Amino acid sequence: MKEAQAIIKDETGLERSLTQVGEFLKEHKVVRRKVKQIPAKADVEAQETFKTESLEPLVEQAQQQQIHLFFVDAAHFVLLPFLGYLYSLTARYVKSASGRKRFNVLAALNAITKELVTITNHTYINALSVCELLEKLHQQFSDLPIVLVMDNARYQRCKLVLQKAASLNIQIVFLPPYSPNLNLIERLWKFAKREVLYNQYYKDYAQFCLAISDCLEQAHTTHTEALNTLLTPKFQTFRNANSHP
């Protein structure tokens, strides 16, 4: 705001208050935006090729009900404060839970229906967890071919998982390295944190886990309108992105 105030003064010679500057920016569609990041090791061209040649055709097949398309990822929710922003006249505080217990969620998000299939534990996610998820998907969605989009975590690319997928006739498509922007489920993790974790205090670990589980289980029914917008299968790449040094 102060930078905009200085530029206006330099360009026009007019001094404006920060309130006036804010109204001016709003009038010209300049809004407060969070700075986004580009993974340092991301291959922009590889992402663009994958999006146009692999991802978009798969989405089209799913929309035409030729396949079940799922985006797979694991989230590790740690029992620590998730602090967000708010407008307030005074500083606000929220209690912080003690300990570092971690609630792990391995999930597959249906790109079209927004249904979520999960495997949860309190230790760690490994290849056996992924195989358990594959079995669950096979049992629930065997009416059409199943295609999974995954990142390159070692426990997902291992021989055990690939053999299990082959035995269940499940196709796995691996994202280019460092491409969270092409994994639809990443948006769901951010949504869950915003809904039940930011600025919230849970007195014990069980309550913490229950809040996350309830949010994820009810997401595609309770939050249908919000998720239909948030989880639209359209993907950003960084070919035309301008980054600061």
pLDDT digits 0-9 by tens, 82-135: 887 777 888 888 887 766 799 999 999 999 999 999 999 999 999 999 999 999
Tell me if 112 sits within 8 A of 138, measured CB to CB.
Answer: no
Q: Distance (Å, rounded) from C-alpha 101 to C-alpha 93?
A: 22
What is the mean predicted confidence (pLDDT) over 52-73?
Answer: 97
CATH of 44-230, one of 2.60.120.260, 3.40.50.880, 2.30.130.10, 3.30.420.10: 3.30.420.10
Cα angle 73, 206, 134 (rounded to 5 degrees) comes to: 30
pLDDT of residue 94: 84
**Residue 30 CB: number of other CB atoms within 10 A?**
12
pLDDT of residue 240: 62
In the chain, which segments carry CATH 3.30.420.10?
44-230
Residue 61 has pLDDT above 80, yes or no: yes
Weakest-pLDDT range from 6-10, 20-24, 27-31, 150-154: 27-31
Residue 23 has pLDDT above 70, yes or no: yes
pLDDT of residue 169: 97
Spatial CA neighbour of 165 closest among 156, 177, 176, 152: 156
Percent share of the chain, pLDDT over 70: 93
Joined tokens for residue 78: 């740690």
Weakest-pLDDT range from 85-89, 91-95, 152-156, 184-188: 85-89
pLDDT of residue 85: 79
Spatial CA neighbour of 137 closest among 162, 114, 168, 160: 168
Sequence-separated (6 or more) residues with CB below 8 Å from residue 42: 176, 177, 178, 179, 238
pLDDT tier for residue 36 given thresholds of 50, 70 and 90: low
Cα angle 6, 12, 17 (rounded to 5 degrees) comes to: 50
pLDDT tier for residue 244 given thresholds of 50, 70 and 90: low
Weakest-pLDDT range from 27-31, 43-47, 107-111, 134-138: 27-31
pLDDT of residue 245: 56
**Residue listed under structure tokens 């229906």:** 113
> Average pLDDT over the chain, rounded to whole?
90
pLDDT tier for residue 239 given thresholds of 50, 70 and 90: low
**Residue listed under structure tokens 């396949």:** 67
> At 60, which amino acid appears?
E
**Residue 145 CB: number of other CB atoms within 10 A?**
14
pLDDT of residue 97: 74
